Amino acid sequence: MSTLLKLLGFETAPIQTIESVRLTLGWGWAGLILALLVAVPAFLLTYRVEDKPCSRPLFFTLTGLRLAFVAGLLVLLAGLKCTVSGWIPQKNKLAVVIDTSRSMSIREEGVSRLERVQEALGKGRLIETLERRTGITPALFSFAGSVAPLSRDDVASFGLAPDGPQTNLTRAVTDITNHLGEGNLLGVILLTDGAHNTGDNPLDALARHRTPLYFLGTGRTGQVSDLAISLERPPSVGYLNSLVRLRGELRIQRIASNTIPITITKDGAPFSSIDVTASPGQSRIPFAINIPCDTEGAFTFAVSVPKFPGELTHENNETGFLLKVVKERLKILMLAGSPGWDQTFIRSAARSDPNAHVYGWTRVGENRWLPTVDSELKAAVPAPVLTDLEDADVVILAGMPASVLEPHAELLLGRIEAGKTGLLILPGLSGYADLGYAGSKLKTLFPVELAGEAWVGTPCSLVLAARDTPYAFLRLLDDPIENQEFFASLPKLDGLFTYQARKSGAETLLSSTIERNGAAQPAFLTHRVGQGNVAMLCGGPLWPMGFTQVPTDRTIRPYTAFVMNTLKWLANRREDAQVTLELPSSRGFTGQPAVLRVWVSDTRRRPVDTAQVSAQMSTAGGEPVSLTFTATTEKGCYESTFIPAARGLHTITAKAVHQGSLLGEARGQLLVEVPTAEFDDPEVRTDLMSRLASSTGGAYRPVEARDALLEAIRPTPGKKQETKSFEARDSGLLLALLLALPLAEWIIRRKRGFS
């Protein structure tokens, strides 16, 4: 085949072994047949052999030559293409990867996991044996959260330390295969305990990899004892005279005691304690504690469990969080186009919070408005006076016509963009497009495009969009599954307003059981307008939820908690300053980047994009660290990444300078902890490694049985599949052959005296 292709002028190199040859047509086979069906009868009808004597063999020869020419011409015109597939020999590669995460420091029988690796590489001469067996010099890497190349000297001297804060098997394998090329990678040999604890699940992500994974498992199972405490998204802000909920988990591994006391200290002084009892066989025990916020200020809480002798580590016996208690005065302004029960129930929920103050205007008729002043309904007046817009923390819009708000649009937009006011949009009786918002500048406030607004009157339930929601106001029950079920069990909405499109950046907080074009329609959405938060409820009524009694150990009922926490989140508390500092969390971890954001505005609360923003990060007894911020795509927003090196309370002071003058300073605190994820599941993960090896065609062995694993690696010659395509029209030989057909016919005709 290769010779024939060469004869036609097609070069198949570098393919050495042709596996398949495929002919295709640019027109498709059907196109060619149709063309032949037209051309051949047309030719036969018009073909002439004059009125001269012609023998049958001659007639068939002449006709055959002409037909072959017509058919050949059509085949070439149809774009005949020859596709050749075959193999190219390749040099094989192998990778040896050493896990240097902190879990490799775990000692079993007096030897750490990394020391077992060192022994295998040193005394065991793993690399040399591998080279001898396969004839391949392996590429060497270390990995924890990410991958780093190693030299032979690095391995020989073994200066590796188990200091990686996390283990990401998926990223390690993906990075190595990308670096070396998957096609000719004979395999990846991982010396690890398999304690994957961050990134995508390797069983899902690596199952499709064609590279065999060979695991040499280090460590012994069933020998580790440990007691660990961790907190789940600890609260960072509390409001005076309210409670915050602290959730966490105890992990018990071969600890003699079943009852574990948890002690909480506040700024070093004893604050509270609870006893948590584990059932037999239970290794993970969730706990939750209410923390009353009765004093204003910033407090450092430490949550600890006793330290038992022989524990794997004592680093995870204590954790902490920062809590800023603010004196909240939540001014809620409710603007309603007509009275409604939803508004009544929101006002009722707000009354449960002594810090909440409800103001409002409800339209009850032509030139008749009912004012609410500090939660008290007043007698009707002819027109609303919207001066409360100037200092409202949250505005609730409930079907108020756009024409009423239009004169105050700039004020409202400005305050929301500056993050000084949040907006909750409740559905109007007939939607917002009809109320004039579609053509108003206020339409930017909506997280949806108002065009195409349609009411779907199908009763529907609420669906929590993400079980592990990052929004605290959607976490009404401690258990995520129960919480999701709680939302699903709430009284149904009568229906929803649906919209053709969400605005970019809008996020669905609660979706519904109503589907449109196969997608669940959102019931509760949010988006950012500048620095401000906007949430929109698309359906109703909401108030039947107010009657729902849910068994809970909290002193606050879920409905009230949902309403109040949503309103407080919308209020987006920021200091009244031109420079504000935003931390992703009040807690960070050593070695893990924390993205800090600074928002800068001028005296008129307009975002400033050309400021010079810097920050100083200081810790008690440590050298201060300077940070430089760069502008982001968001107006007036600057970002910097800080990787904490030491644990402890870090104080951040950010300042912004614009045109040589200081715009302001903002302060924040970050409590840095040592990440303990590496010790969360300290057992060697033989099951995970075995399954990964099996799904990729590799093998798993304990590191002590490394010779058996090396036996499993087959040093087959490497090859890579290659495909090449050739156009028949590019072949000179084919063209010559085609032209030879009419020439032959002409010669015969001339010789026999035909025209």
Partner 1 sequence: MCMTRPARGGKRTTGARMAQCGWIWIILPFWLAILTIPASGAEWGTIAIPRIQYGGGGDWYTDPTSMPNLLKAAAERFNLPTRPEHFPIRISDQALFTYPLLYLTGHGNVKFEDQEVNRLVTYLDNGGFLWIDDCYGIDKSIRRELRKLYPDKEPALLPADHPIYRTAYDLPQGLPKIHEHDGKPPQGYGIFSKGRLVIFYTYETDIGDGLEDEGVHPENTPEKREEAMKMALNILFYALSQ
| Spatial CB neighbours of 426, under 8 Å, sequence gap ≥ 6 | 340, 342, 343, 346, 396, 397, 398, 399, 537, 540, 542
DSSP string, 367-388: TEEEEEETTEE---BSS--GGG
| Sign (positive or negative) of CA dihedral 502, 504, 507, 513 | positive
Taking phi over 0 as left and psi of -120 to 50 as alpha, with beta for the rest, 246 belongs to beta
Residue 173, helix vs strand vs coil: helix
Q: How far is Cα 625 from Cα 641, in angstroms, rounded to an integer? A: 12
151 token code pair: 């030299």
Q: Is residue 645 near partner 1 by the rule CB under 8 A?
A: no
Decide if residue 359 touches partner 1 (CB under 8 A): no
What residue type is 286 in one-letter code? P
In angstroms, what is the minimal distance from the CB of 341 to partner 1?
5
The three-point CA angle 217-218-224 to 5° equals: 120
The token duo for 514 is 């109503």
Please tell me whether residue 149 binds partner 1 under the rule CB under 8 A: no
Closer residue to partner 1 in complex, CB, 418/542: 542
Quick one: 217 or 540, whose CB is closer to partner 1? 540
Closest CA to 71 of 49, 45, 91, 41: 41
Nearer to partner 1, 377 or 736 (CB): 377
- Among 223, 236, 251, 310, smallest CA distance to 676 is for 251
- Of 205-213, 410-418, 534-542, 740-748, which part binds partner 1 (CB under 8 A)? 534-542
**What are the tokens at 54?**
């012609």
Distance CA 703, CA 218 (A): 6
Residue 300 contacts partner 1 per CB under 8 A: no
365 binds partner 1 (CB under 8 A): yes
Q: Does 377 contact partner 1 by CB under 8 A?
A: yes
Q: How many residues bind partner 1 (CB under 8 A)?
A: 46
Contact predicate 460/495, CB 8 Å: yes
Scored b (16 or more CB within 10 A) or e, 588-625 reads: bbebbebebbbbbbeeebebbeebebbbebebeeeeeb
CB of 465 to partner 1, least distance (A): 22
Q: Of 156, 454, 646, 740, which one interacts with partner 1 (CB under 8 A)? A: 454
Instruction: Pick one of 51, 518, 547, 604: the residue that binds partner 1 (CB under 8 A).
Output: 547
| 3-state SS assignment for residue 97 | strand
Task: Tell me how far CA of residue 668 lies from CA of 239, 586, 619, 652, 712, in angstroms.
Answer: 17, 9, 12, 5, 56
Return the range that interacts with partner 1 (CB under 8 A); candidates 114-122, 492-500, 606-614, 663-671: 492-500
* DSSP letter assigned to residue 110: T
If binding is defined by CB under 8 A, does position 457 make contact with partner 1? yes
Q: In terms of CB distance, is 332 or 637 closer to partner 1?
A: 332
Check binding of 380 to partner 1 (CB under 8 A).
Answer: yes
342 makes contact with partner 1 (CB under 8 A): yes
Give the one residue of 232, 494, 634, 639 binding partner 1; rule: CB under 8 A.
Answer: 494
Q: Which two tokens stand for residue 260?
A: 């574990």
Asked if residue 692 lies in contact with residue 215, where contact means CB atoms within 8 angstroms, the answer is yes
Given the rule CB under 8 A, which of 222-230, 243-251, 439-447, 539-547 is the region that contacts partner 1? 539-547
What beta strand segments (E) does 123-162 contain?
A: 139-143, 147-150
Calpha distance 129→148 (Å, rounded): 23
CA distances from 32 to 152, 328, 722 (A): 62, 79, 29
Binder of partner 1 out of 54, 429, 643, 737 (CB under 8 A): 429
Q: Does 341 bind partner 1 (CB under 8 A)?
A: yes
Residue selected from 261, 297, 339, 593 as contacting partner 1 according to rule CB under 8 A: 339
Q: Is residue 379 a contact residue for partner 1 (CB under 8 A)? A: yes
Any contact of residue 427 with partner 1 (CB under 8 A)? yes
Q: Which of 285, 456, 712, 738 binds partner 1 (CB under 8 A)?
A: 456
**Contacting residue, 378, 441, 714, 750, with partner 1 by CB under 8 A:** 378
Cβ at position 205, least distance to partner 1 in Å = 42
Please state the closest distance from residue 95 (CB atom) to partner 1, in A.
59
Contact status: 740 vs partner 1 (CB under 8 A): no
Distance CA 244, CA 274 (A): 16
Contact 580, 419 (CB under 8 A): yes
Asked if 344 is part of the footprint of partner 1 (rule: CB under 8 A), the reply reads yes
Determine the Cα–Cα distance for residues 23 and 1; give it in Å rounded to an integer. Answer: 13
Question: Least distance in Å: CB of 382 to partner 1?
Answer: 11
Cis omega (within 30 of 0) on the bond before 89?
A: no
Task: Please give the Cα distance from 149 to 141 (Å, whole number).
Answer: 4
- Binder among 340, 530, 682, 702 for partner 1 (CB under 8 A): 340
- Please report whether residue 541 would count as binding partner 1 according to CB under 8 A: yes
| CB closer to partner 1, 498 vs 676 | 498
Question: Judged by CB under 8 A, does residue 343 bind partner 1?
Answer: yes
Q: CA 300, 306, 307, 313: dihedral to nearest 10 degrees? A: -60
543 near partner 1 (CB under 8 A): yes
Stretch that binds partner 1, among 10-18, 80-88, 296-304, 361-369 (CB under 8 A): 361-369
Q: Of 38 and 451, which has the nearer Cβ to partner 1?
A: 451
Q: Contact region for partner 1 (CB under 8 A) — 195-203, 314-322, 335-343, 616-624?
A: 335-343
User: Which member of 364, 646, 733, 743 binds partner 1 (CB under 8 A)?
Assistant: 364
Residues that bind partner 1 (CB under 8 A): 338-345, 347-348, 351-352, 362, 364-365, 368, 370, 372, 375, 377-380, 427, 429-431, 434, 454-457, 491, 493-495, 497-498, 539-541, 543-544, 546-547, 549
